[in-house]
Amino acid sequence: MTAAQHGARPWIVIVGGFLGSGKTSLILAAARVLEQRGLRCAVILNDQGEELVDTRHAGMEGMIAREVTGGCFCCRFSALAAVIEALRPSAPDVIFAEPVGSCTDLAATVFGPLRQDFDAYRLAPFTVLVDPARAASMVVEGADPDLEFLFQKQIEEADLVCLTKSDLAPALGPTESLGGASARSLSAKTGQGVEAWLDEILFQDGDAGRTALEIDYARYAQAEAALAWLNLSFTLEPDAARAPALVVGPFLDGLDAALSAAGVAIVHLKVLDTSPTGWVKAAVCANGELPRVEGDLDASPAGRHEVLVNLRARGEAAQVRALVERQLELFAGTVRAMRLDCFSPAAPRPERRVIVSSR
């Protein structure tokens, strides 16, 4: 029996965390657990641009997936509210919401307004995910000050911090301090810790986004503007039929090499190929990193591929765009229906900022 059927208020579960921390992977793993318990789930993805790999991926996994684009949840709160209301006929028991990975100050700009306007829903405690490899890179000498600012601010306002990718943790070594925040470990890949996390946020009393930040919005804008944000979609018709894995792999490797040679740091890069024979998604969170790959790795060759690319990099948007366009020219085949958008995020301007309380 769903929450709607027995009169319980549905949950809104906001899962934050820096770019590449594993938000979508955790949400999909959690949805599978909840659906086994007879609960219906939906997800709302968020991005500064359009053409989202994660929205397409969630839909292919059979999840009700919607998105808010053109700005973060805080700057597009009315759009978020409209999407939540539009999901009502689907009667989800749990609505996951994944904010932009460079976004912070959500306790005041999203949780506060939601608490005021949405009595028909319950707000789960605010979970912020942390990739241990990213955390380690933020505490070394010479760490990028803009990325470190965003990373630390996200942790400061978390109700619960979760270290992700625990299946890789032994290879990454110990994680340094997370600003005094206690953290649990979990893995979306193996399922370790996912059920315990769900039980903690859905079936125990707890605060929900009550740690309002003191944040300098000029500094926040500077940090976000340091990133180049690229979303790309195109249709590839190769000269000879090619398997999705043999489209995604060489393209990702070539782009990684080109960005590295130009001194552009990858923050998060995702490539998704869907073809008549299957789909493959690959992602990296740093230059030279071994990709995390999922999908139909043994799919047969196909003559048509729909490709999505989402790249977040530390560098100038014009340079990043030129490097990606050069990689497209290297395909042995025809690239059609290309849509490419590359920019640096505008200064965040929240629609509303509601401070409920501070611990």
The pLDDT tens digits of the residues spanning 145-178 come to 999 999 999 999 999 999 998 877 654 444 444 5
* 216 in a structural domain: yes
Q: Which residues on neighbouring strands pair with residue 123, listed in sequence order?
A: 12
H or E element, residue 334: strand 333-343
* 349 in a structural domain: no
State pTM to two decimals. 0.92
Q: Which residue do the tokens 């530390």 mark?
A: 314
Q: Are residues 243 and 218 in the same domain?
A: no
Q: What is the pLDDT of residues 109-135, one digit of tens each?
A: 999 999 998 889 999 999 999 999 999
Mean pLDDT for each 10-residue chunk of the chain (359 residues)?
A: 60 96 96 96 95 93 95 96 95 97 96 92 95 89 93 94 81 46 82 94 80 94 97 97 97 98 98 98 96 96 98 97 97 96 96 75
Tokens of 118: 């949405």
Q: Are residues 208 and 339 in the same domain?
A: no
Neighbour count for residue 216 (Cβ, 10 Å): 12
pLDDT score, position 205:
65
Q: Are residues 332 and 262 in the same domain?
A: yes
Residue 93 · residue 39 · CB < 8 Å: yes
Task: Show the 3-state SS of 195-237.
Answer: HHHHHHHHCCCCCCCCCCCCCCHHHHHHHHHCEEEEEEEEEEE
Q: Are residues 206 and 273 in the same domain?
A: no
Residue 102: which domain range?
Answer: 9-223
Residue 13 · residue 126 · CB < 8 Å: no
Output the domain CATH number for residue 104: 3.40.50.300
Report the C-alpha gap between 113 and 115 in whole angstroms. Answer: 5
* 350 in a structural domain: no
Q: Are residues 149 and 284 in the same domain?
A: no
**Total structural domains within the chain:** 2
* 73 in a structural domain: yes
Which amino acid does the sequence have at 262? A
DSSP string, 230-298: EEEEEEEEESS-B-HHHHHHHHHHHHHHHHHHTTPEEEEEEEEEEETTEEEEEEESSTTPPPEEEE-TT
Strand 265-275 and strand 292-295: the pairing is unpaired
Output the domain CATH number for residue 287: 3.30.70
Instruction: Read off the DSSP letter of residue 299.
Output: P
Q: Are residues 104 and 131 in the same domain?
A: yes
Report the C-alpha gap between 133 and 286 in whole angstroms. Answer: 10
Q: Which residues on neighbouring strands pair with residue 66, listed in sequence order?
A: 44
